[in-house]
Structure 1
Amino acid sequence: MKKLIIATAAFLIATAGGLHGHCQMPCGIYHDDMVYDLIDQYVETMHKAISELKMIKFDTVQDKNQFIRWIMQKEKMSDDVSDLIMKYFLQQKIKPDEQDTAEKVVSAHKLLFLAVCMKQVPELKTLYEFMEEWKKFKHMFHREGYSCKIEEIKLKKWEQEAAEMKKQEAEEKAKAAASTKQEEKAKPVGNSFELKEPSKS
């Protein structure tokens, strides 16, 4: 018995660094709202990190130091989000035999994909896509009464920024299409431009 206790203690010490927020036991003390709050905070931190990375100028050693630290923080938040989605939702909350299982799995995969995209390309556009999908994902678990813990003013501001970004992209696409159309009209016929005869008066 003594050897068993020692062996168990040694195992716990050796694996302590790999333990996460949820023990994956049916303990009933880990709630959806807690996970939602955690991911909301991760999203807020990633928004701050990406915004800071775009403003840092590299004029001083302190600037360079801060740049590296924000990258590390952004990477950690992305990993933490992915870890929660996989270990809490995919492994436990999403049951294999439910009617909307496929829809939930597809949405979870999109969140994981966007989390990696935010590591590779630090753009607010990707973060806004993640936020939009995350909002839909939460409601798949019948949590209509849940209120996001991120300050409402910030959330509203981010949604406005996302809408403005989409509008700007649409305008740029429209300009590009108009420019292409204009080039098509000005294309030469054979080796020269086609000229219309002047109308006789």
Structure 2
Amino acid sequence: MNRKFTAVSFILTVILWTAGVVMPHGAWAHCEIPCGIYDDGARIQMMLEDATTIEKSMQQATELSGKTPVNYNQLVRWINNKELHADKIQHTTAQYFMTQRIALDAKDYDKKLAALHQILVYAMKCKQTMDLENVAKLRGAIKTFSDLYLGHTHEKE
């Protein structure tokens, strides 16, 4: 009986080990290495789209808060939407660009890092306030980073 148990344990161990080595891990998530499947320019465009959504959310929430009676359900939904899109910008900034794309030895590392920090700060300020000036500053920081990171401007000269 003892030999049978040992043989079964050995076989199960081999099967589990093989499955662990051969089977793909984390198929539900993307690894944190720059594998080249993402489009950095598209990520920046998504951040700008999120900024536009924040701006519209602020405008709608401000408009709704001035009405009588206040439609608190819609007001909360617009504020939550503003928060969500600011979070998305912060996530893309920190988790994608700062963690995976900006190498310590990158050209203009300090300038890129400063621009990314500004994006994080202005996204935070968009969460804290309804001041549309923070959205303008957020867009400016995203554009500054885009110009540094992608190496060109999109303005006509």
TMscore range, shorter length: 0.7 to 0.9
Query: Could you tell me the TM-score, scaled by structure 1's length?
Result: 0.60
State the partner residue of 1:164: none
Percent sequence identity over aligned pairs? 25
- 1:12 deviates by 5.1
Confirm or deny: 8 A CA contact 1:114 1:126 kept in the other structure: yes
- 1:27 deviates by 2.4
State the partner residue of 1:93: 101
1:121 aligns with 2:129: yes
Instruction: Note the 1:1-201 alignment, pairs <5 A.
Output: 2-3=15-16, 5=19, 19=29, 23-56=31-64, 57-60=66-69, 63-144=71-152
Q: What is the count of residue pairs matched by the alignment?
A: 138
Bigger relative contact order, structure 1 or 2, given CA contacts below 8 A and separation 6+?
2
Confirm or deny: 8 A CA contact 1:58 1:64 kept in the other structure: no
- 1:68 deviates by 0.2
- CA distance in 2 between counterparts of 1:23 and 1:122 reads 36
Query: Could you tell me the TM-score, scaled by structure 2's length?
Result: 0.75
How large is the RMSD of aligned CA atoms in angstroms?
2.7
- CA distance in 1 between counterparts of 2:56 and 2:84 reads 13
- Look at both structures and tell me which one has the larger radius of gyration over its CA atoms: 1
Structure 2 letter corresponding to 1:59 = T
- 1:26 deviates by 3.4
For structure 2, list consecutive stretches of 5 or more residues without a partner in the other structure. 1-13
